[in-house]
Amino acid sequence: MRVVILGPPGAGKGTQAEQIAKSNNIPHISTGEMLRAAVSSGSELGQRVSSYLDSGALVPDDLIIDIIKERITRPDCDRGFLLDGFPRTVPQAEALTGMLESLGKGLTHVLLLKVPDSVLMERIMGRASAGSGRSDDNEDVVKKRLKVYHEQTAPVAEYYKKRGELLELDGLGTIEEVRARIDKALSDPSHK
Ligand code: AMP
C-alpha cells in the first residue's frame, strides 16, 4: 500500500496519517517532521531549511525530492508507505511519479482531506494557543501557509485528479468520523 495524503494545513492530515500508517503497518513519512527534526538537531540540512519553515514558505523542490528519494528506497518501505506533506508542488508530484515508475511501482491511494479555510484558521489558531510547540503556528505564518497551499499544493490535487487517482474526502467532523471515511476509501476494491 503506497498512500499519499493531501490536504491544507490544519486539515488533520498528521493525526490521520499516523493512525493509518500504524494500523496498516507501514512507515509514516512526514516531510514536515523530518525537516523539523533536522532543524532541532542543528544539522547542515536543518540550518539550510529553518528560515523556510519559520516563514511558512516551502523548501526548494530539489532538496525535498532528494530526501524522499532516499527515504522511500529504504527496506522498511518495501511493504509500502504513507506520505504526509509530500508532494507539495506539481514538480514534486511529477518527480514522485518518476521515482515510483523507475521502481516499477505506483501509488495505490491518493487521499485529499477537504476542509474550508474558515475552519482551518480556527483549528490552527486553537493549536497555537494550546502551545503546539511548532514555531510556525502563529497567525501570520498560518495565513501564509494557507496561501502557499492554495497556490502551490492545490494544483497537486488537480494533477492526481487528471490522472484519475484522487479520492476526495470530507475532512469535517471528529477524528473518528474522518478516520472511518479514510478507512472506507482505503478498502475500496477498485484500489489496491
Ligand atoms: P508540515 O508539517 O507538513 O505542515 O510542514 C511544515 C513545513 O515544512 C512547511 O511549511 C514547509 O516549510 C516545509 N515542508 C514540509 N514538506 C514540504 C515539501 N514537500 N516541500 C516543501 N516544503 C515542505
The share of the chain scoring above pLDDT 90, in percent, equals 78
**Can you give the pLDDT of all 192 residues of the chain as single tens digits?**
999 999 998 888 999 999 999 999 999 999 999 999 999 999 999 999 999 999 889 999 999 999 999 999 999 999 999 999 999 999 999 999 999 999 999 999 999 999 998 888 787 777 666 766 666 667 788 888 899 999 999 999 999 999 999 999 999 999 999 999 999 999 976 655
Question: What pLDDT is attached to residue 125?
Answer: 73
Interatomic CA distance for residues 12 and 184, integer angstroms: 17
> Maximum Cα–Cα distance for the chain, whole Å?
45
Interatomic CA distance for residues 56 and 49, integer angstroms: 11
- 147-178 in b/e form (b: 16+ CB < 10 A) is ebbeebbeebbebbeeeebbbebebeeeeeeb
Q: Which residues make beta-bridge pairs with 6? A: 112
C-alpha pair distances (Å), 84 with each of 27, 97, 151: 10, 16, 18
Strand, helix or coil for residue 109: strand
Mutate to test the pocket of ligand 1, among 6, 35, 99 (most ligand atoms within 8 A of CB): 35
How many other C-beta atoms lie within 10 A of the C-beta of residue 190?
A: 5
Q: Is residue 8 within 6 Å of ligand 1 at its C-beta?
A: no
Q: Which atom of ligand 1 lies closest to the CA of 92?
A: 19
Q: Do you know the residue count of the chain?
A: 192
Q: Which residues make beta-bridge pairs with 83? A: 4, 29
Q: Which residues make beta-bridge pairs with 141? A: none
pLDDT in tens, 50-105: 999 998 899 999 999 999 999 999 999 999 999 999 999 999 999 999 999 999 99
Q: Is residue 86 within 6 Å of ligand 1 at its C-beta?
A: yes
Catalytic sites, residue numbers: 13, 88, 127, 134, 145
Q: Is residue 46 within 6 Å of ligand 1 at its C-beta?
A: no
Q: 56 C-alpha to center of ligand 1: Å?
A: 8
